[in-house]
Homo-oligomer: A and B are copies of this chain.
């Protein structure tokens, strides 16, 4: 058995590498996917493929149509979604990905600092597992493979 896991959330530090390294060390048969982590590429992908747009809103609309294409394809193929929230940024697309996962009956593992418990309480209540570090999220996945 193999699992496909989508890593939703912020792209400002290397938390995805941490998880992938741990999975490799534990030899877990997991394929990880996620959003474009190059922030500039993600913001500009609309114009890079479709050409110069008229203004910032049109540029955003073009970029998000292609980012959402990526997310929709990869999320539909995922067995589990891990979503990480941090203190910074609004992260509305992370909340969107997390809620979409739940609505598609993909179990959600929510990773967030305890300090964010209040604004994330409704999402935490819907998540299957709530934890504070990427390592804990991976341990929960590792448990699925134990005999």
User: Do A96 and B122 touch across chains, with their CB atoms under 8 A apart?
Assistant: yes
A97 — which chain B residues lie within 8 A by C-beta? 99
A35, chain B: closest CB distance, angstroms: 9
Which of A67, A79, A90 has most B Cβ within 10 Å?
Answer: A90
Within 8 A of B (CB), among A1-60: 1, 3-4, 31, 33, 36-37, 41, 45, 49-50, 54-58, 60
Q: Which of B31, B128, B139 contacts A72 (CB 8 A)?
A: B128
A76, chain B: closest CB distance, angstroms: 7
Q: Write 23 A-B pairs (CB below 8 A) sorted by A numbering.
A: A1-B33, A36-B146, A50-B131, A56-B118, A57-B114, A64-B121, A64-B125, A65-B128, A68-B126, A68-B128, A69-B140, A69-B143, A71-B122, A72-B107, A76-B79, A77-B79, A93-B119, A96-B99, A96-B122, A96-B126, A100-B102, A100-B103, A103-B103
